[in-house]
Structure 1
Amino acid sequence: MEYSKSIVEVIKERTSSRTFDGRKIDEIALRKLSDYIAQINQENKIKGRFVLVRNSGANPEKPVKLGTYGFISGADSFLVGIIDKEEKDALTFGYLFEKIILCATDLGIQTCWLGGTFNKSDFEKTVNLRENEFIPIVSPIGYKRENPRIFETVMRFSIGADKRKAWNELFFEKNNSEPMNEKTIGAYALPLEMVRLGPSASNKQPWRIIHDGQAYHFFLCRTKGYGVMAYDLQKNDMGIAKCHFELSAGELGLKGRWEITGGTEAPDEWEYTATWIAEK
């Protein structure tokens, strides 16, 4: 899609909001968002779909608990991600959902990734949930309340929502023994920084990238005992990283392609996911 501003600005503007001011979302913005979701669904190759749920009927002044991820207040519209119970490609699902999140951000709409377990009754009437489907991801959408509730402030502080790992913890040269130098990596410093700023479940930031020649190998460094169950939240996070890297590289005119190469030498506990091959 064509953004109204730099994708780098959009990524930096995106923050998670659980407290909204109750205002109705601009109809033109909602229409553009709905059209983009329809485009994503049409182009999607995995067994999953995305739905914009409007007018939930909830009292905007009363916080509503959604599944396992806490209370949301002031939002009456939601982005709902639906996936087939047999579909295992959480990485592509997260990649696509983040594209929708960034579209909303560009339209001036605030969001919040909520991953976990959602009661079927939360959205089933609106999304026509089928027997073989479940909902792994939801985002409320709306306009952020200027003074968030104490609950939201405490939660963001407890998980360090605004903190990001340093470059030397995330990005490496040839193997994980040599940290990547932000000042000498060249044009790809910006796409890598956009990966670093990405949202992740409980802010675990599981992405690790090894640069080797023209290749940028993406690995998943799992948090033990976290985020798999019915839906792999940390693979989902890798999809967000892939989205940020690809979109910002494209904006800079950095040509490349995704391949599955098997990666390169890396710690045993890291899981290889994909490789970006930079084209000269």
Structure 2
Amino acid sequence: MKMDFPVAKTVNARSSVRTYENRDLSANEKDQINAYINKLSNPFSADVTFRLLEKASSSDREKLGTYGVIKGAGNYIAASAADKELALEALGYSFEKLVLYATSLGLGTCWLGGTFNRSGFAAAMNLKEGDLFPCISPIGYPAGKKRTMESLMRWVSKADQRKEWSELFFKQNFSQPLTKDDAGEFAFPLEMVRLAPSAVNKQPWRIVQDKDTYHFYLARSLKSENDKVDIQRVDMGIATCHFHMAALERELSGKFQKLAKPEIPTPEQVQYIISWLPGK
């Protein structure tokens, strides 16, 4: 299937950018981003609202703040969703698709789930009561040189490191690692999942192959501030985005569906999220 951008190339090109050139996006780039936002969809039947925010046009520029984590960015993308089943996963899926599209345009982004003025951005989003608003991202032109703080943050989070296949992907149960040979043509979608970004680089996704079905699980490693800011569920949406785009690019037919909990014994703190079923 023809995609909007080459999946592997774009996934590998994306990295978290915290230092930007001090200029706004061009009018053409804003139009491209907004046009892409308007056609975003997700496979979880959950509505996600996006806005491209401009710091310069904000009634109070300081309210769109990131406590010094981001420097130079004049534009941000933000997303919210009504509180319903799989809403955070849907938001993560669509947000990551937008992040990758921005990457394909040569723009920088950085997932932010905590280090931003939530009330200021929430006001700019015109949130409805009960809406989920877990994260934002700056979007702009990467500066040529990283700040010392940015390099330190990447080092602390081991941003460029990823877990091995044997830690993430399993066959029939959680005691038998899945090999690339076992995965066959799905080795590519799984590798794209392995390379996905996540909060504090925790990589919380675990996937169990059960015949032709792939069950997605969340291995919790972070405490959420409250039930409505569960950033690791957003991470699961990112993982499903990478898997789905890679499968579509390779024309591997199937769909996501939440099943009754699969009869697979799970380790402590591991939660079933959704499954990928083969077929049209």
Deviations 1:35-56 (A, max 9, x none): 1112237999535411001243
Identity %: 38
The offset of 1:24, in angstroms, is: 3.2
Q: Does 1:98 align with 2:96?
A: yes
Q: Does 1:266 align with 2:265?
A: yes
The offset of 1:75, in angstroms, is: 0.5
Local SS of the residue matching 1:220: strand
Q: What are the ranges of 5 or more consecutive residues in structure 1 without an aligned counterpart?
A: none
The offset of 1:14, in angstroms, is: 1.0
The offset of 1:121, in angstroms, is: 4.9
Amino acid at match of 1:74: G
Amino acid at match of 1:266: P
Amino acid at match of 1:10: T
Q: What are the ranges of 5 or more consecutive residues in structure 2 without an aligned counterpart?
A: none
Amino acid at match of 2:265: A
Which residue of 2 is the match for residue 30 of structure 1? 30
Deviations 1:221-277 (A, max 9, x none): 001535654311111100000000000011001111112222341324211111111
Taking a change above 3 Å as real, the CA distance of residues 141 and 221 of structure 1, as seen in their structure-2 partners, is: same
Which residue of 1 is the match for residue 72 of structure 2? 74
Local SS of the residue matching 2:180: coil
Q: Does 1:152 align with 2:138?
A: no
The offset of 1:130, in angstroms, is: 3.9
Stretch deviating more after TM superposition (189-198 or 20-29): 20-29
Q: 2:275 and 2:132 mapped to 1: Cα distance?
A: 30
Q: TM-score under structure 1 normalisation?
A: 0.87
Which residue of 2 is the match for residue 192 of structure 1? 190
Which residue of 2 is the match for residue 138 of structure 1? 136
Amino acid at match of 1:267: T
1:88-237 equivalent positions in 2, closer than 5 A: 89-116=87-114, 118-119=116-117, 121-124=119-122, 126-133=124-131, 135-223=133-221, 225-226=223-224, 228-237=226-235
Q: 1:271 and 1:56 mapped to 2: Cα distance?
A: 42
Deviations 1:58-112 (A, max 9, x none): 9xxx9x8426xx521111000011234x445211111111111112112221100
Deviations 1:133-181 (A, max 9, x none): 4632110001111211000000110011111001000001110111111
Taking a change above 3 Å as real, the CA distance of residues 228 and 125 of structure 1, as seen in their structure-2 partners, is: closer
Q: 1:7 and 1:43 mapped to 2: Cα distance?
A: 18
Taking a change above 3 Å as real, the CA distance of residues 224 and 105 of structure 1, as seen in their structure-2 partners, is: closer
Q: CA RMSD in A?
A: 2.7
Q: 2:108 and 2:227 mapped to 1: Cα distance?
A: 28
Q: 2:130 and 2:75 mapped to 1: Cα distance?
A: 24
Amino acid at match of 1:24: D
Q: 1:200 and 1:39 mapped to 2: Cα distance?
A: 24
Q: TM-score under structure 2 normalisation?
A: 0.87
Which residue of 2 is the match for residue 276 of structure 1? 276
Amino acid at match of 2:264: E
Taking a change above 3 Å as real, the CA distance of residues 241 and 120 of structure 1, as seen in their structure-2 partners, is: closer
Taking a change above 3 Å as real, the CA distance of residues 278 and 132 of structure 1, as seen in their structure-2 partners, is: closer
Which residue of 1 is the match for residue 253 of structure 2? 255
Say whether the 8 Å CA contact 1:109–1:143 is kept in structure 2. Answer: yes
Q: 1:15 and 1:271 mapped to 2: Cα distance?
A: 28
Stretch deviating more after TM superposition (10-19 or 39-48): 39-48
Taking a change above 3 Å as real, the CA distance of residues 224 and 209 of structure 1, as seen in their structure-2 partners, is: same
Taking a change above 3 Å as real, the CA distance of residues 95 and 41 of structure 1, as seen in their structure-2 partners, is: closer
Deviations 1:186-225 (A, max 9, x none): 1111110100010111111000001111111111100153
Say whether the 8 Å CA contact 2:17–2:142 is kept in structure 1. Answer: yes
Taking a change above 3 Å as real, the CA distance of residues 264 and 105 of structure 1, as seen in their structure-2 partners, is: farther
